[in-house]
């Protein structure tokens, strides 16, 4: 763990021989820094990164923002060949007390992903949101904060349902974030991949209820994607090329009940090819461009579909 104060002094806390040991250092990469038997244990590239950054700090212990960006770029993945990458870096602006979180090799962009509903973060959420939204107005840029649980007051950000969805249509915008693999957010050998058909079904169901789908595809260490992931995305893309107008332009009907809540997508992994989740009587509706779109969540073997919600109805008597 790395700790720093407002003066720029930083230390690393390491767990060695069942004890927590503190070592002062201006730079932290992936190897042990505490003097002793474990010092230097880590990867070769981490050593190179550490020495590169230390060299940049020889003349001064603090850097301007551009100097910091240049320093991080100098140890980014394009300078190394065997797959190890810098996922993220954190900077602290001594003048403004702003925390700068840079993700992957693009160190000019901000990215933040953490358990913001945690009690230790709650006192700072209002300040964080105000700063982010006000800066976005200055930049003339549309931004979004997604949250889970009760991290934000309703209406201050976009609610997110991780690996799940709502059972009913919502009058407000919301998001589902899920992955192509049931068992992991990243690439791991023998991933349990979800069928493209199932992901398309979820997409139609979510959009019809005023939501959007954020789909995660985890690359390998070298930045490439597995063949299974390619196949899933190509099938989704083929469906979107025909039906995308209905997605980008809202509830449905049918006997299948959606399991509401987070991490509900794991329930589906117990289904076999002989089981069903959706039937040819399950439809989702979207609208746009003056058209009503009806999406069947499963193909009918006969090719016939009956949409009961669109049936003609006897005129009901009016009541004052």
107 and 122 co-located in one domain: no
Rounded Cα distance between 19 and 267, Å, is: 41
Average pLDDT, the chain: 79
106 and 82 co-located in one domain: yes
pLDDT bin (cut points 50, 70, 90) of residue 258 is: low
pLDDT bin (cut points 50, 70, 90) of residue 262 is: low
pLDDT bin (cut points 50, 70, 90) of residue 98 is: low
Contacts 24+ apart (CB under 8 A), 279-282: 279/254, 279/255, 280/305, 281/253, 281/254, 281/255, 281/306, 282/252, 282/253, 282/254, 282/255, 282/256
Mean pLDDT of 157-181: 92
For 91, the 3-state DSSP assignment is strand
> pLDDT per residue over 56-91, tens digit each?
888 776 777 778 778 877 877 667 765 555 556 666
What pLDDT does 97 receive?
63
170 and 268 co-located in one domain: yes
Tokens representing 163 are 């690996």
The helix (H) or strand (E) run that includes residue 316 is none
Mean pLDDT of 105-115: 55
CB 274 within 8 A of CB 301: no
Tokens representing 66 are 């551009």
> pLDDT per residue over 114-131, tens digit each?
667 777 778 888 888 898
122 and 151 co-located in one domain: yes
Last residue of a domain, one of 111, 136, 170: 111
CA-CA-CA-CA dihedral for 243, 249, 253, 254, to nearest 10: 30
Res. 319: pLDDT tops 50: no
Res. 102: pLDDT tops 80: no
- The better pLDDT of the pair 255, 162 is held by 162
pLDDT bin (cut points 50, 70, 90) of residue 301 is: confident
Domain extent, residue 131, equals 113-156
Tokens representing 17 are 């021989």
CB 192 within 8 A of CB 183: yes
> pLDDT per residue over 1-12, tens digit each?
677 776 767 888
What pLDDT does 161 receive?
93
Q: How many domains does the chain have?
A: 3
Where is mean pLDDT largest: 200-209, 243-252, 310-319?
200-209
> pLDDT per residue over 34-56, tens digit each?
888 878 777 778 888 888 888 88
pTM over 0.85: no
Rounded Cα distance between 139 and 135, Å, is: 6
For 286, the 3-state DSSP assignment is strand
Rounded Cα distance between 150 and 135, Å, is: 24
Rounded Cα distance between 189 and 54, Å, is: 36
Res. 23: pLDDT tops 70: yes
What value does the CA radius of gyration of the chain take, rounded to a whole number of Å?
Answer: 25
107 burial (CB, 10 Å; 0-12 / 13-18 / 19+) is buried
Last residue of a domain, one of 92, 125, 156: 156
Tokens representing 276 are 């069903």
- Sign of the CA dihedral running 139, 144, 147, 150: positive
14 and 53 co-located in one domain: yes
CB 258 within 8 A of CB 170: no
Last residue of a domain, one of 55, 89, 111: 111
Percent of the chain with pLDDT over 90: 20
What pLDDT does 112 receive?
57
175 and 107 co-located in one domain: no
- First-to-last CA distance in the chain? 68
């Amino acid at each position: 763990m790395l700790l720093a104060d407002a003066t720029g002094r930083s230390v690393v806390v390491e767990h060695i021989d069942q004890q927590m040991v503190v070592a002062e250092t201006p730079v932290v990469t992936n190897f042990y820094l505490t003097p002793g038997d474990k010092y230097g244990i880590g990867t070769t590239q981490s050593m190179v990164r550490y020495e590169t950054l230390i060299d940049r700090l020889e003349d001064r212990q603090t850097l301007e923002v551009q100097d910091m960006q240049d320093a991080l770029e100098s140890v980014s993945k394009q300078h190394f060949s065997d797959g190890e990458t810098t996922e993220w870096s954190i900077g602290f602006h001594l003048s403004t007390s702003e925390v700068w979180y840079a993700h992957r090799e693009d160190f000019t962009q901000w990215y933040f992903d953490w358990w913001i509903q945690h009690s230790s973060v709650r006192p700072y959420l209002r300040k964080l949101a105000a700063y982010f939204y006000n800066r976005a107005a200055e930049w003339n840029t549309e931004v979004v904060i997604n949250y889970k649980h009760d991290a934000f007051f309703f209406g201050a950000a976009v609610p997110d349902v991780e690996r799940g969805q709502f059972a009913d249509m919502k009058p407000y915008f919301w998001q589902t974030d899920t992955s192509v693999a049931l068992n992991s957010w990243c690439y791991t050998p023998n991933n349990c991949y979800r069928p493209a058909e199932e992901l398309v079904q979820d997409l139609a169901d979510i959009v019809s209820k005023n939501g959007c789908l954020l789909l995660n595809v985890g690359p390998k260490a070298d930045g490439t994607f597995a063949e299974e992931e390619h196949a899933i995305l190509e099938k989704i893309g083929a469906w979107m090329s025909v039906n995308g107008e209905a997605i980008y332009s809202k509830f449905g009907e049918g006997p299948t009940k959606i399991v509401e809540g987070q991490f509900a997508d794991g329930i589906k992994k117990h289904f076999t090819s002989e089981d069903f989740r959706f039937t040819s009587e399950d439809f989702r509706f979207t609208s746009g461009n003056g058209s009503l779109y009806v999406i069947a969540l499963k193909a009918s073997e006969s090719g016939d579909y009956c949409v009961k919600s669109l049936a003609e109805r006897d005129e009901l008597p009016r009541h004052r």
